[in-house]
Every structure is written in structure tokens, then in C-alpha cells.
Amino acid sequence: MRNKFLRTGQGGFNPIQKLRVFYSGLRYAVLNESSVAIEIILSLLVLTACFYYRQWLDFTIVLVASGLMLVAEMVNTAIEALCDFVESGHNEKIGIIKDVASAAVGISILVWSVTLIMEIVRLWQGIQ
């Protein structure tokens, strides 16, 4: 794909290529980060239950929380990989960068977890 800032790569918009890149990145994250795979499975279980019981607002809230959490996880993975590529040895500044990225993921996982727990409790109460 063409980088419009560096003026490198091939020109033209290719949606199929963009989907391949998306799939490749998602596949890498799921296969190499077990937390991403577990979070996707848990989210899909709760989303399925919300869909089954026609809780559309709950479905949307869980979908948004899950999406934001996955974005944070993948950005964190990319930041850590980039830091390791730039500096393979110990570097205090790289450590701070990784810590901040991990803190962002921690916050997103906390919000996601609370959202999932609240929805599970709501669904459980609705079943009984």
C-alpha cells in the first residue's frame, strides 16, 4: 500500500489488500497473545447471550467495550514489539514507554471486565 507521507509503496486503494492486512494482524494477535484469544472468546459468549435474549443495548455496550479493549491490547503489542526492535537491551526510557502502554491496556481491561460482569449478572437475573 502507498504511504502518502513517505511517498513509498504502490499507489491506489485496494480494499481486498486492506482486509488481508487486517486479517493478518488479527490472526497474529490471537495466535501469539493468549490474552487476546481469551478476551475474544469471553466477549463472544456474552455477545451471543445478549443477542439470544434480544438485549440490543447491552449487546452494543459489550461490543464497544470489547472492541476498545482489543484495540488497546493490539496497540500495546505493537508498541512493545517496536520498542524491542529499536532497543533489544535494557533501557529505562523504553521500560517507561512499555509501562505506560501496559497501564492503558490495564484500564481498558478493567472497564471491559466490569462491563462483562454487569452484563452477565443482568442476563443471569433475567433468566431466573
Q: How long, in residues, is the chain? A: 128
Buried b / exposed e over 22-35, threshold 16 CB at 10 Å, is: eeeeeeebbeeeee
Q: How far is CA 19 from CA 1, 12, 13, 23, 56, in A?
A: 12, 15, 12, 6, 27
Q: Is 73 a catalytic residue?
A: yes
Residue 83 burial (CB count, 10 A):
17
Domain ranges for the chain: 1-32, 34-127
In order, the DSSP letters of 65-96 are: HHHHHHHHHHHHHHHHHHHHHH--S--HHHHH
**13-45, pLDDT tens digit by residue?**
778 888 998 899 999 989 988 889 999 999 999
Task: Note the pLDDT of residue 128.
Answer: 74
Residue 83 in contact with residue 52, Cβ under 8 Å? no
- Is domain 34-127 in CATH 3.50.50.60, yes or no? no
The residue assigned the cell 460482569 is 117
Catalytic site residue from 73, 80, 87, 92: 73
Which tops the pLDDT comparison, 2 or 80? 80
Say what the pTM is. 0.80
Task: Note the pLDDT of residue 24.
Answer: 93
3-class DSSP state of 10: coil
Hey, what's the cell of 19?
482486509
